[in-house]
């Protein structure tokens, strides 16, 4: 029996349930969908859980079923590859090395990098994250005009400054880091021309290669020819470039391109997603003032609110994989190199998994809300998930304590992306 006939990768032959645009029209790029993606993706999941999108710029399939995404796509399925990138078209610049790889290499690579997100390391980062949050709140408290864009005053600089810290760079670089990250995300997810990301990467290469070289010079200054993990946080700063320098994968050192990719991954994956987590959570609390009042009265619910925000408003609406060979899904024969989008909104609002899924429930039990897959699952589970969570916990805890009268003061505006789900403007007032 051939791979195609067997439905390799866990997709057994099923009664055909593929629907066409004539049955249900769905466009992830439509402005109405982008403005309020949750209901649109919930409707898609209910009416057409496996959908063939045929747009002007992209063609891909969409699955919305929680169990299918978690158990048949993300559970290290050999059919669905990450090496062509996490988007509706192939990423060329870093294809098939570093983070854009599949097991077994990817598992060993990520195991090395996860040392920087171990529990003890997160505890070590926490005092500086709290200090940054306090500095930002000090500025807000002292401001003569006590209103403005929460995104700019607080939600953006907190994660951006943390990423500077994690790359061993001066925190004053944070506006540039965020701007670079946004430009890379746009080129990877919004620009439809082939190789659109190449120019962005080339523009950043000199800066980050110089930063890498400065870390290497530290080793030379200490006479260390063969660095090991023992040098991390001792002779070398406890940052991610240093971690890359002391790590070995499959018995070899990471090369400069892989070290450069660590830097670009940090500024893309580590900034906007956490900014969106914080802004989305604060927006949901303030849009219904009773929620904010309840959190002030019950601050132990901070973690519940964060996990519910991740479930209800995932910072990334859609992830992608590419098939390495023909596969059958829901009775449909998909050729090699098919793009498959898995809907975070659809999965996180699957009524078979979550009760009352289209309602933001701020006290939803953690063992339930944490079943969301906004950080992924399996070997590609988000490297920075522990850091994002602690940043959000610190942010909400300090906001409730220091700005108890925080309130909405205008209309929100979304970021300019159909794949990312966040706010670029959240007008608030305080004091």
From CA 302, how far away is CA 284, in angstroms rounded?
13
DSSP 416: S
- Joined tokens for residue 408: 């909405």
pLDDT tens, position by position, 212-234: 999 999 999 999 999 999 999 99
User: Residues 58-114: pLDDT tens digits?
Assistant: 999 999 999 999 999 998 789 999 999 899 988 876 666 788 888 888 889 899 999
Give 374-397 pLDDT, tens digit per residue: 999 988 899 999 999 999 999 999
Q: Which of 18-27, 119-128, 194-203 is the least confident region?
A: 18-27
Alpha-carbon distances of 199 from 98, 177, 192, 272, 395, rounded to whole Å: 19, 16, 14, 21, 35
Specify the pLDDT at position 243.
97
Q: Spell out the residues 6+ positions from residue 297 whose beta carbon is closer than 8 angstroms to its own.
A: none
Question: Which residue segment(s) compose the domain that 360 sits in?
Answer: 3-429
- Judge whether residue 164 has pLDDT over 90: yes
- Classify the C-alpha dihedral 123-308-385-132 as positive or negative: negative
Greatest extent of the chain over all pairs of C-alpha atoms, in Å:
73
Classify 95 as helix, strand or coil: coil
Continuous H helices in 54-103: 66-67
Least confident among 187-191, 249-253, 275-279, 314-318 = 187-191
Measured in whole angstroms, the distance separating CA 221 from the mean position of its chain's CA atoms is: 37
String of b and e for 395-411 (b: at least 16 CB within 10 Å)? bbbbbbeebeebebbee
Structural domain total, the chain: 1
Average pLDDT of the chain to the nearest whole number: 91
Eight-state DSSP code of residue 301: G
CATH number of 192's domain: 1.10.630.10
Q: How far apart are CA 86 and CA 69, in angstroms?
A: 15
pLDDT in the model for residue 21 = 47
Contact 278, 391 (CB under 8 A): yes
Collapsing DSSP to helix, strand or coil, 392 comes out as helix
Averaged over 400-417, what is the pLDDT?
96
Global pTM value: 0.92
The answer on pLDDT for 27 being more than 60 is yes
Of 194 and 229, the structure prediction assigns the larger pLDDT to: 229
Residues with Cβ within 8 Å of 133's Cβ and at least 6 positions away in sequence, in order, are: 154, 158, 394, 395, 398
For helices 272-287 and 157-166, the axis angle rounded to 10 degrees is: 150
| CA-based nearest residue to 21, from 2, 44, 5 | 44
């Amino acid at each position: 029996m051939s791979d195609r006939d067997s439905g390799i990768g866990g997709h057994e032959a099923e009664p055909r349930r593929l629907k066409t645009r004539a049955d249900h029209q769905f466009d992830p790029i439509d402005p109405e969908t982008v403005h309020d993606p949750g209901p649109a993706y919930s409707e898609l999941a209910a009416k057409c859980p496996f959908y063939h999108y045929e747009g002007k710029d992209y063609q891909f399939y969409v699955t919305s079923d929680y169990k299918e995404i978690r158990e048949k796509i993300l559970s290290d399925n050999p059919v669905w590859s990450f090496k062509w990138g996490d988007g509706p078209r192939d990423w060329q610049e870093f294809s098939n090395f570093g983070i854009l790889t599949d097991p077994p290499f990817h598992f060993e690579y990520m195991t090395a990098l996860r040392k920087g997100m171990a529990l003890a390391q997160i505890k070590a980062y926490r005092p500086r994250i709290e200090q940054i949050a306090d500095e930002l709140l000090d500025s807000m408290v002292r401001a003569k005009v006590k209103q403005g864009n929460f995104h700019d005053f607080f939600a953006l600089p907190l994660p951006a400054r943390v990423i500077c810290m994690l790359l061993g760079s001066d925190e004053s670089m944070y506006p540039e880091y965020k701007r670079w990250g946004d430009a890379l995300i746009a080129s990877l997810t919004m620009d439809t021309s082939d190789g659109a990301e190449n120019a962005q990467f080339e523009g950043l290469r000199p800066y980050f290669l110089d930063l890498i070289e400065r870390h290497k010079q530290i080793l030379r200054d200490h006479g260390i020819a063969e660095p090991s993990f023992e040098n991390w946080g001792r002779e070398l700063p406890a940052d991610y470039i240093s971690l890359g320098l002391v790590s070995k994968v499959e018995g070899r050192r990471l090369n400069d391109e892989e070290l450069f990719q660590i830097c670009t991954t940090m500024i893309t994956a580590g900034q906007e997603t956490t900014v969106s987590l914080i802004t989305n959570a604060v927006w949901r609390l303030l849009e219904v003032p009773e929620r904010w009042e309840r959190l002030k009265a019950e601050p132990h619910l901070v973690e519940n609110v964060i996990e519910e925000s991740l479930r209800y408003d995932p910072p990334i609406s859609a992830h992608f994989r590419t098939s390495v060979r023909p596969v059958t899904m829901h009775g449909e024969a998909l050729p090699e190199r098919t793009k498959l989008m898995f809907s975070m909104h659809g999965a996180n609002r699957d009524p078979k998994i979550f009760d009352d899924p289209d309602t933001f429930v701020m006290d939803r039990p953690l063992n339930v809300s944490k079943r969301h897959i906004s950080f992924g699952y399996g070997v590609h589970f988000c490297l920075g998930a522990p850091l994002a969570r602690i940043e959000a916990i610190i942010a909400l805890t300090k906001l409730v304590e220091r700005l108890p009268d925080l309130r909405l003061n205008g209309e929100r505006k979304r970021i300019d992306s159909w794949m990312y789900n966040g706010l670029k403007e959240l007008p608030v007032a305080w004091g």
